[in-house]
Structure 1
Amino acid sequence: MAGSDAKTPRERYRAQVRAEIKQHAWEQIATAGASALSLNAIAKRMGVSGPALYRYFAGRDELITELVRDAYRSLADAVHAAAVTGADPAALAHVLRDWALADPHRYFLVYGTPVPGYHAPDEITGISQEIMADLLTAWTAFEPDPPASPFAAHLTDHRDWAGDHPAPPGVLRRALAFWTRLHGVLSLELAGHFTGMGFDPDRLFRAELDDLVGREG
């Protein structure tokens, strides 16, 4: 006998149509960017009327929220799967890079230029904080008592971005520097800014990573 949570045929059909809409949305983002996302254009590709799609997504913002949620959830799950094995910050950094290189458009949707007129709901912030929590936990284990610094002291009272994580200010400073520098390298690489410069972006990423964790690179 089917479980009580089994979907009805109508629910399965609705899930399939929503998945198809999202697939077309990703293709549109890859071609023209998230700011050009259009439900009417997707409807045309699917051979249905614009109003028909609004039975599945109330509007552009709801569709973007679904895509952003999926992207953050995917990264959060990948990072957490590594974190629960005791992975150190360097290992988590490679998880981030592998995830970004696998789908640059997905990466830029969540870490690139904000979509004009769109504001993500609080639930999305919650998922992003899961990623940061795993990173903070890894840094706490890796270097539980970093040297004090003026910015670390500043973070004592400016730690909303860290959620409820109990990491001390020195760890917050290390993790924040780690996060911002690696995203800087990744964003430049994925946008093609290293093309023609004559060095291997992977080696640059590894060198930055070695510097951040105090290794010779």
Structure 2
Amino acid sequence: MAGSSGSSDDAHGSGKASSPRSRYRDQVRAEIKAAALEQIRAGGAPALSLNAVAKGLGLTGPALYKYFRGRDDLLTELICDGYDDAAAAMRAAADRAAGAPPRQRLHALAAAFRAWATGAPHVYQLLAGTPSPGYQAPPETADRARAVLGPLLGVLGQGDCRGAALDLRAEMRCWLNGSPPVQQWVEGWAPDADAATALAGTVTAWARLHGVVGLEVQGLFGGMGHRPGTLLHAEMENLADALGLPAD
């Protein structure tokens, strides 16, 4: 996992049975991350204190640094875990909706993302915001974020850009031409679609998802007369209309 400090991934990846020492290390690391997430749930990312985590687990501060290099290292792992969980929710929704019309699949993915975010609002806010002043997420977190978006590419690539969206598609094509990794990512999820169209639709969907879900998670719909799920459905339906996404 990105940003880990001395994890046992190499042993697991080699197919060798992990040692008791390695299993103990994994267990302690998992307990540290769980305690850190609880702090973040209670007070947001700024509340995260390694000394408080260590004290709560009966460790000394220096002992905790045997498992994580520092606060940013721990934050990076929590962010990677969050993206992995969100990606798993999106893949599961895509599998359940496989074979359904594209528009229905889009709604299924949007609902799955909303359910994940509202089920773990502190994790969503950790991913959507800036965990701490000066924190710089390493490049590998971008790969995790793309895994969340991947299922959207295959669905939205079946639509077509028109009107004002043509400018966005042109910009996406420039991005694709200048970034082979992005090109490979899009083509891997939407091999039969125009890559720029798929990416333009996905970026738009992502912005609309965050717009609705972010406001809901922050409690900013309080006192308003609508259900967030109804608004999200309308946003995805409007996007599907704009892209001419097939309904059957």
Same-fold call, TM cutoff 0.5? yes
Counterpart among 65, 78, 89 of residue 54 in structure 1: 65
Cα 1:168–1:10 change in 2 (3 A) is closer
Letter of the 2:70 partner, please give it.
Answer: G
Per-residue CA deviation, residues 93-136 of structure 1 (Å, 9 max, x unaligned), is 11111111110011111112343221111211111112223211
State the identity as a percent: 44
Please say if residues 75 and 131 of structure 2, whose CA atoms lie closer than 8 Å, have aligned partners that are also in contact: no
* RMSD of Structure 2 on Structure 1 (CA): 2.4
What residue in structure 2 maps to residue 30 of structure 1? 41
How many pairs align?
Answer: 212
Counterpart among 81, 90, 107 of residue 90 in structure 1: 107
Alpha-carbon distance between aligned partners in 1 of 2:233 and 2:68, rounded to the nearest angstrom: 41
Mark the runs of 5 or more structure 1 residues left unpaired by the alignment: none
Alpha-carbon distance between aligned partners in 2 of 1:78 and 1:16, rounded to the nearest angstrom: 24
Alpha-carbon distance between aligned partners in 1 of 2:152 and 2:171, rounded to the nearest angstrom: 20
Alpha-carbon distance between aligned partners in 2 of 1:5 and 1:94, rounded to the nearest angstrom: 39
1:180 partnered with 2:207: yes
Could you tell me how far 1:198 is from its partner in structure 2? 2.5
Could you tell me how far 1:86 is from its partner in structure 2? 4.8
Alpha-carbon distance between aligned partners in 1 of 2:64 and 2:77, rounded to the nearest angstrom: 14
Alpha-carbon distance between aligned partners in 2 of 1:179 and 1:38, rounded to the nearest angstrom: 32
Alpha-carbon distance between aligned partners in 1 of 2:93 and 2:225, rounded to the nearest angstrom: 32
What residue in structure 2 maps to residue 44 of structure 1? 55
Mark the runs of 5 or more structure 2 residues left unpaired by the alignment: 1-13, 188-193
Per-residue CA deviation, residues 44-64 of structure 1 (Å, 9 max, x unaligned), is 111221111111111111111
What residue in structure 2 maps to residue 68 of structure 1? 79
Please say if residues 133 and 162 of structure 1, whose CA atoms lie closer than 8 Å, have aligned partners that are also in contact: no
TM-score, reference length from structure 1: 0.88
What residue in structure 2 maps to residue 147 of structure 1? 162
Counterpart among 95, 101, 104 of residue 118 in structure 2: 101
